[in-house]
A and B are shown apart, each in its own frame.
Chain A
Amino acid sequence: MLLGAVPILLLLLVYLVLAAGRHEANPADKILPLPGAMAESMAALMFVPDQLTGQLVFWADTLASLQRLGIGLGISTLSALVVGLALGALPPVRATFGPLVTGIAVIPPIALLPILFIALGLGETAKVALIVIGIAPVMIRDIAAHVSALPREQIIKAQTLGASSWQVILRVALPQAMPRLLHAMRMALGPGWVFLISAEAIASDVGLGYRIFLVRRYLAMDVIIPYVAWIALLAIAMDVALAALSRRSFPWAHGERH
């Protein structure tokens, strides 16, 4: 834990030295702002209502982005569970829809963004749809592969205990897919953020990604850097929360003495 902090602190130190150097040469430097400038800009965004909208910009951005990401991730997770379970547990379903999911999964989602904007407009729907299209196929395939890799013996055993196909899915496949689903969510968070920022950068009026790309025009590194750090912090918090949830809810899947 402490050892892992050393490189991060070292990077911070290097940044401070470089920033201080630049400011010594040019006190008005915008490229590597000093912490004081960042704090000042961020305080304005966090605590002073925007003159135009009356909103606290930073929190409005955070809320909008988290909402988009949350809805996108939620829809993806639900479809991964339902479709992944069906694909993994029912061979006829796999034979019918497997190639379709694979086909969608290999399309670069950003390439679909124009189609989404044309079809769904520039509102929230298109942004959420981009996240879903970007991460759902991968999650579905992950869950399907995990379910279909359950030992054959387990399925036979369940059948000899009198379980119907429905009961096998409900009591054998579903519970064992759950920790994998949380793992798939963690893996999908990274790409999810990428698609969120991309969609916001291209067409939006609020959001963390939107703000970064907006203030880029003014070389406002004193806003961009804290925003990126905030995004990183949010991503880490989500990852840690999901990992903790998995350990708490499914201790049997983590090989722990519980």
Chain B
Amino acid sequence: MSTLLSLRDIWVEYGDRIIIEKLDLDIAAGSFVSVVGPSGAGKSSFLRLILGQEAPSRGTILLDGEPLAPECGPDRGVVFQRYSVFPHLSALGNTMLGMECAQSPFSARLFGAARRAARDEAAAMLQAVGLGDSLHLYPAQMSGGMQQRLAIAQALVKRPRILLLDEPFGALDPGIRADMHALIRSLWRDYALTIVMVTHDIREAFTLGTRVLALDKRRHDPHAPHRFGATAVYDLQLRERPEDHAPENDAEAPLPTSITID
């Protein structure tokens, strides 16, 4: 598979504090990469790098062979654990916002036929994530799982090159989480998505991912813990294609016993 995103010798430093050091990575188009690692091992920094929220202090990031602009753009969609949806917009309004921004630079609103087209597309997307009956609900009227479905629909309607998930299911009940796993997996398959998901849940990482990256510090200096940054200490290729995926109830994914991540 072709490389979609590649990180070359990436360093992230704040002053003399090194967060990420010497990270080299190629992410293939169509892969589902789970990123795990202990707190403070640069998972969030890693995500912010790909998101364009911050630039690496050294190294280059290429998306489709082009250097990545250090700003958030519509080619990368994101779903956070919380606050991903806009409380003042209905489900439909939330999903249409991306299209309105693209087509109407000044007022960011659409009218007439353009609005109907955007509406229909948004409604279809909400149908696809299972919110077909909730088009006019506001986020405050939705459960946590529904809000995350909405956040996913909102991102996917922009057809991002890469979808970033920041512990998207961390705040959900276990039953809901299983539903969300099934949803994200079928969306990934149907829309041929490339997904990078940061998670604390190792089982989730192995169940969903085609590849699991573990970020951690390779070396540790007890007197100056900040002087060594994290990098990919494990990079496990699990399966190539979505079809190889284990079904959801087979959640006991092969967890290599040699890995311990706290």
Q: Which residues of A line the B interface, CB within 8 A? A: 151-154, 156-164, 166-167, 170-172, 175-176, 250-253, 255, 257-258
Contacts and interface: CB of A to CB of B under 8 A. Distances in A.
B101 to A, nearest CB: 4
Interface stretch (B84-92, B112-120, B123-131, B171-179): B84-92
B105 A164 contact: yes
B83 A160 contact: no
Contacts, number: 89
B82 A153 contact: yes
Contact residue range for chain B?
35 or more
A161 B102 CA distance: 8
B71 interface: yes
Interface in B38-77: 51, 53, 71-74, 76-77
Interface stretch (B154-162, B237-245, B251-259): B154-162
A175 B88 contact: yes
Nearest to B141: A257
Contacts of B83: 151-154, 157
7 contacts: A153-B80, A157-B151, A163-B98, A171-B97, A171-B108, A255-B140, A258-B141
Interface in B129-185: 138-141, 151, 154-155, 158, 160
A90 to B, nearest CB: 16
Nearest to B78: A160
A176 B100 CA distance: 18
Contacts of B74: 160-162
Contacts of B71: 159
Contacts of B73: 159-160, 162
Nearest to B139: A252
Contacts of A161: 74, 97-98, 101, 154-155, 158
Contacts of A176: 86-88
B82 A151 contact: yes
B101 A171 contact: yes
B2 interface: no
Contacts of A153: 80, 82-84
A159 B72 contact: yes
Contacts of A164: 101, 105
Contacts of B141: 257-258
Contacts of A160: 51, 72-74, 76-78, 155, 158, 160
Nearest to B103: A162
A225 to B, nearest CB: 44
Contacts of A252: 87-88, 138-140
B107 interface: yes
A163 B97 contact: yes
A80 to B, nearest CB: 18
Contact of A157 (B78, B102, B107): B78
A69 B117 CA distance: 46
Contacts of B84: 153-154, 157
Contact of A154 (B77, B86, B155, B158): B86
B80 A157 contact: yes
A253 B76 CA distance: 29
A255 to B, nearest CB: 5
Given A156-B53, A171-B108, A252-B140, A162 B80 contact: no
Nearest to A174: B88
A72 to B, nearest CB: 28
A163 B98 CA distance: 7
B146 to A, nearest CB: 15
Nearest to A169: B108
B87 A163 contact: no
From B74, B85, B86, B89, residue with most partner A Cβ within 10 Å: B86
B51 A167 contact: no
A251 B107 CA distance: 23
A170 B107 contact: yes
Contact of A171 (B100, B155, B160): B100
Nearest to A258: B138
Contacts of A158: 86, 97, 101
Contacts of B100: 171
A140 B102 CA distance: 31
B97 A156 contact: no
Contacts of B87: 176, 252-253
Contact of A156 (B72, B85, B86, B102): B72
Nearest to A254: B140
Contacts of B98: 161-163
A121 B211 CA distance: 76
Contacts of A166: 105-106
Contact of A167 (B108, B139, B140): B108
